[in-house]
Chain A
């Protein structure tokens, strides 16, 4: 790992806008702008927010034999139906290990003759090596000359349509390439906030210009990593390295929905990915523990690492919080964590150890805020 922090193409713009910069996954990233985490969060839910996600990995996977060959090859690493993914569509998935754990979560898009893959910044190098080793018939190319912006919120469509009218016709999880006055833009109608919105891949040299054009719109404000985290948590979305990791299976993590029927038991392309036996068993008979939403009583957040107990004063923890914060939209603290399957039903009362006191917390349905996607 390198000691020097990398900068995204929007670094100078962040500094100019007064961002507080922090190290994150090897990059200097804006954690918040002068408005602060709370206002940035509410801005994104009410209008639109612009996020710099250029630290994430953009990768093209290609086979000389075409899309299907590349898709079938990737299916050996990812338990997702990629061969059946229509052109211009994207799916959420994950790399699994032999124990059924999760190496990273990612987005995979069918772009006609190849797949476009977006992976987490912290896992980027490992993911690329994993694909290069695991996909011998394919070329795996990291796209290092493009930035990635996310425009999220109920007004995202209106704002982006001012530059690219064609985005109005996109549905949630559609992908498209547009020629524009900012060069070729690779657009997906997706994001990680629970809101409608877009991720836009743009040439490095044009990124700041595009960001300024979007920020010039009254509806748009710049948003840092702090609000990105509270937005995704309210939306019930996992953060890799916290809510999911090599020790959590997709079924424990309540991500079984991402494994389509053809990859399950009895499907035409059943299994064939690392850890399939464990994962498909759990898909049929349930996992011993489950990722759940948690609503602490009162206003004190139960943060990552908070131990969970079945009864007040119980000696042995039954679970642990993996993400916890205050939810600006719900106006209350919220957490996610793992509990035994028997205690995973919404409404189950538990206790969390907050500074030595066992405080009441209730298992809750996810997401905490309803998703606002354009399906």
Chain B
């Protein structure tokens, strides 16, 4: 698993399809999540695009596309049950899967140890 400075986790499942979620640290910082807006399947995204909106009891925040690629799957269960983002951020509450156009973009991200020291 890889981690971004935006507190996303990325897991290369198979054939460069990357599963993306947010870390436990991020979910704690956000507070209770009450609304999630996901991108449409088939959307081509560029690294840095704002593609997910998360509304918590405190504020709205975005998830940025961590890499270039195509959205191939979204976790629709989050739309009806956004609280999953708090209860299981590393498991059930993945947001989307993206087929990487340039898998080497994953290399720049942190491994778990680096992320742990990043959040201190």
Among the listed stretches B4-12, B16-24, B55-63, B88-96, which one makes contact with chain A, having 4 or more residues with CB under 8 Å of it?
A: B55-63
Any A CB within 8 A of the CB of B37: yes
In this complex, the interface size class of chain B, counting residues with CB under 8 Å from chain A, is 10 to 19
Residue pairs across A and B with Cβ atoms less than 8 A apart, 22 shown, are: A32-B31, A36-B31, A36-B32, A37-B57, A38-B31, A38-B34, A38-B57, A230-B57, A299-B35, A299-B79, A300-B53, A301-B35, A301-B55, A303-B59, A303-B60, A325-B57, A326-B34, A326-B35, A326-B55, A328-B57, A333-B34, A355-B60
> If A226-B58, A299-B82, A300-B37 touch, does A37 touch B32 (CB 8 Å cutoff)?
yes
DSSP class of B's interface residues: helix, strand, loop or mixed?
mixed
Find chain B residues with CB under 8 A from A301 CB: 34-35, 55, 60
Assembled-state Cα–Cα distance A206/B31 (Å): 33
Task: Please report which residues of chain A, range 351-375, place their CB below 8 angstroms from some CB of chain B when the two chains form the complex.
Answer: 355
CB closest chain-B residue, reference A357: B37
In this complex, the interface size class of chain A, counting residues with CB under 8 Å from chain B, is 10 to 19
Question: Contacts A37-B31, A38-B57, A301-B34 given; 10 further ones with Cβ under 8 A?
Answer: A36-B57, A37-B57, A230-B57, A299-B79, A299-B82, A300-B37, A300-B55, A301-B35, A325-B57, A328-B57
Assembled-state Cα–Cα distance A299/B53 (Å): 12
Assembled-state Cα–Cα distance A166/B55 (Å): 44
Find chain B residues with CB under 8 A from A32 CB: 31
Assembled-state Cα–Cα distance A230/B60 (Å): 16
Assembled-state Cα–Cα distance A333/B56 (Å): 11
User: Which B residues contact A (CB, under 8 angstroms)?
Assistant: 31-32, 34-35, 37, 53, 55, 57-60, 79, 82, 86
The answer to whether A226 and B60 have CB atoms under 8 Å apart is no
Assembled-state Cα–Cα distance A305/B34 (Å): 19
What 1/0 flags go to A289-319 for Cβ under 8 Å of B?
0000000001111010000000000000000
Q: Chain A nearest CB: distance from B75 CB in Å?
A: 15
CB closest chain-A residue, reference B60: A303
The answer to whether A37 and B58 have CB atoms under 8 Å apart is yes
Assembled-state Cα–Cα distance A200/B58 (Å): 28
Assembled-state Cα–Cα distance A230/B86 (Å): 19
Assembled-state Cα–Cα distance A175/B56 (Å): 37
Assembled-state Cα–Cα distance A178/B120 (Å): 49
Assembled-state Cα–Cα distance A36/B37 (Å): 22
Assembled-state Cα–Cα distance A328/B58 (Å): 12
The answer to whether B32 and A38 have CB atoms under 8 Å apart is yes
What 1/0 flags go to A216-255 for Cβ under 8 Å of B?
0000000000100010000000000000000000000000
Find chain A residues with CB under 8 A from B86 CB: 36
